[in-house]
């Protein structure tokens, strides 16, 4: 909680600072990318998807699991190592039963003005040390070995989706009671003060709690009064869906103490004002919602949020987008990063919102991505990873929706990793100290 008046920064004053810093625009200071065809060992995947229109990376992926697309990120155990969450797999409950829910440790060798390869490699989940491949030591794997979930999962079936016409569920999934993309669509995750993980799901939407090794610790937790079409009560005919599919917990933040979670829905609940999203507060220790709710207003051009991370106990950084890409001529890409502020906003109120970064107009004076331009654009349809590295630096990464794409070209998308320098610090008192650091690693 901020108590010093030097740290108090409302939307108006931040906007003024950002405008004052326009001569030192939001700048790309580090860039890296990962090939679309990056795999780990695991059960055969992709048996239920339709090949993409590009004719590349054709399924199934025998004995392999895609390492992408990423939908959440945490800091790793070493500098420039990170833990990235993979979502449900192939974009739908009906095609992802053979995709195991995992998160991977990655090491980024940033391409900067000083050099660097711009490559991304596997790392050990615990230590951050380099690994030769994305193997068991590089990942967290979700499972319900203790049988705490109250909804049916693929591991309970003999054949995928319970259909005898489908292949047998892989023994590794059955024996380990591994969770799959037909069980949950995990889009966000955080670590609490006890070292447990909380995952935000879109199918319920549910919160899913696991220990540090990925084992589910309790039953899935619904949010009162909100049900997506895949919610178990909707499927059973006990409730009516009031949230669009793929509209659940795309954003999930946690306060500095690790005691309070903040869930942000991706889509509008039926009956709420058009273009507004719900932020709800959740108490980690009581494992219940507190009843405090705030309203996030989408930009007129925005249709979805992609991620949310806490900067401090009152302010959060949010990714917002539309579905436009470089290959959608009738819809210009809208991809921005905002700072929102809950301070002095009463429960039920609208959060204050200030634009931080236009991802379609980043300064790239050293052409770090090698495209021949000093203006960097990030036109991917889903950009679902943001992390505050320091008060003036953000990490932003796209979800490549493997094997699909069309973000930059008619091809499967790669995953790109951006390190972005803000023109001013999010902590005003730190601006002078940051001034001397402006050239570090740039």
- Reference 173, options 207, 198, 210, 143; nearest CA is 143
DSSP 122-157: EB-TTT--B-SSS-GGGEEE-B-TT---SS--GGG-
How far, in Å, CA of 108 to CA of 135, rounded? 17
pTM greater than the 0.85 cutoff: yes
Among residues of the chain, what percentage have pLDDT more than 90? 90
pLDDT (0 to 100) of residue 380: 97
For 217: left if phi > 0, alpha if psi spans -120 to 50, otherwise beta; the answer is: alpha
How far, in Å, CA of 85 to CA of 102, rounded? 6
Instruction: Say whether pLDDT at 1 is over 80.
Output: no
- In this structure, the number of other CB atoms found within 10 A of the CB of residue 70 comes to 25
How far, in Å, CA of 204 to CA of 207, rounded? 8
Assign 3-state DSSP to the chain and report helix, strand, coil percentages, each to 5: 10, 35, 55
The domain ranges of the chain are: 5-12+40-356
Contact predicate 160/47, CB 8 Å: yes
Query: What confidence tier does 12 reach under pLDDT thresholds 50, 70, 90?
Result: very low
Tokens representing 33 are: 């990318």
Q: Which residues contact 435 (CB under 8 A, 6 or more apart)?
A: none
pLDDT (0 to 100) of residue 439: 42
pLDDT (0 to 100) of residue 4: 35
For the chain, how big is the Rg over CA atoms in Å? 21
CATH dotted code for 5-12+40-356:
2.120.10
pLDDT (0 to 100) of residue 438: 44
Task: Number of helices (H) and strands (E) in the chain: give both, helices first.
Answer: 4, 25
- Reference 246, options 426, 96, 59; nearest CA is 96
First to last CA, the chain: 32
pLDDT in tens, 234-246: 999 999 999 999 8
DSSP 231-251: -HHHHTTSS---S-TT-SEEE
Contact predicate 227/243, CB 8 Å: yes
Contact predicate 173/155, CB 8 Å: yes
pLDDT (0 to 100) of residue 427: 87
Which residue has better confidence, 432 or 195? 195
Query: What's the whole-number mean pLDDT along residues 295-305?
Result: 96
- In this structure, the number of other CB atoms found within 10 A of the CB of residue 192 comes to 18
**Torsion angle, alpha carbons of 293, 221, 172, 182, to 10:** -60
- Averaged pLDDT of the chain: 92
Q: What are the backbone dihedrals phi and psi of residue 148, each rounded to the nearest 5 degrees, phi first?
A: -90, -20
Query: What confidence tier does 18 reach under pLDDT thresholds 50, 70, 90?
Result: low
- Reference 59, options 45, 71, 70, 73; nearest CA is 45
Contact predicate 354/333, CB 8 Å: no
Query: What's the whole-number mean pLDDT along residues 7-23?
Result: 50
pLDDT in tens, 81-139: 999 999 999 999 999 999 999 999 999 999 999 999 999 999 999 999 999 999 999 99
Among residues of the chain, what percentage have pLDDT more than 70? 91
């Amino acid at each position: 909680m901020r108590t010093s008046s030097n740290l108090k920064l409302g939307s108006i004053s931040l906007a003024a600072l950002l405008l004052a810093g326009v001569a030192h625009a939001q700048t790309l200071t580090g860039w890296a990318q990962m090939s679309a065809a990056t795999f780990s060992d695991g059960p055969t995947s992709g048996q239920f998807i339709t090949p993409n229109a590009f004719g590349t990376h054709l399924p199934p992926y025998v004995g392999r699991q895609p390492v992408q697309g990423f939908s959440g990120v945490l800091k790793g155990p070493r500098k420039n190592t990170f833990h990235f969450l993979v979502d449900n797999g192939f974009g739908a409950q009906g095609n992802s039963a053979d995709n195991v829910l995992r998160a991977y440790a990655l090491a980024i060798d940033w391409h900067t003005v000083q050099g660097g390869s711009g490559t991304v490699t596997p790392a050990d989940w615990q230590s951050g040390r380099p690994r030769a491949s994305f193997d068991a030591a590089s990942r967290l794997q979700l499972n319900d070995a203790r049988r705490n979930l109250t909804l049916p999962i693929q591991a309970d079936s003999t054949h995928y989706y319970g259909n005898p016409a489908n292949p047998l569920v892989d023994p590794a999934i059955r024996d380990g009671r591994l969770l799959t993309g037909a069980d949950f669509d995990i889009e966000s995750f955080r670590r609490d003060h006890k070292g447990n993980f909380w995952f935000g799901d879109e199918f319920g939407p549910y919160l899913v709690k696991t220990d540090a090794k990925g084992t589910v610790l309790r039953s899935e937790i619904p949010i009162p009064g909100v049900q997506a079409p895949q919610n178990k009560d909707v499927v059973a005919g006990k409730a009516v869906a009031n949230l669009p599919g793929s509209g659940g917990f795309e954003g999930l933040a946690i306060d500095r103490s690790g005691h309070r979670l903040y869930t942000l829905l991706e889509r509008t609940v039926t009956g709420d004002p058009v273009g507004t999203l719900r932020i709800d507060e959740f108490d980690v220790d009581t494992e219940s919602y507190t009843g405090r709710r705030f309203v996030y207003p989408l930009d007129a051009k925005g249709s979805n949020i992609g991620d949310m991370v806490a900067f401090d106990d009152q302010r959060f950084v949010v990714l917002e987008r539309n579905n436009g890409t470089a290959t959608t001529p009738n819809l210009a890409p809208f991809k921005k990063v905002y700072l929102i502020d809950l301070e002095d906003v009463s429960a039920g109120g609208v959060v204050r919102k200030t634009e931080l970064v236009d991802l379609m107009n980043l300064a790239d004076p050293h052409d770090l991505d090698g495209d021949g331009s000093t203006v960097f654009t990030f036109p991917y349809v889903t950009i679902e990873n943001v992390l505050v590295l320091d008060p003036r630096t953000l990490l932003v990464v796209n979800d490549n929706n493997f094997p699909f794409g069309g973000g930059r070209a008619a091809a499967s998308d790669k995953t790109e990793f951006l390190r972005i320098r803000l023109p001013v610090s999010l902590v005003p008192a730190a601006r002078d100290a940051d001034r001397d650091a402006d050239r570090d690693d740039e």
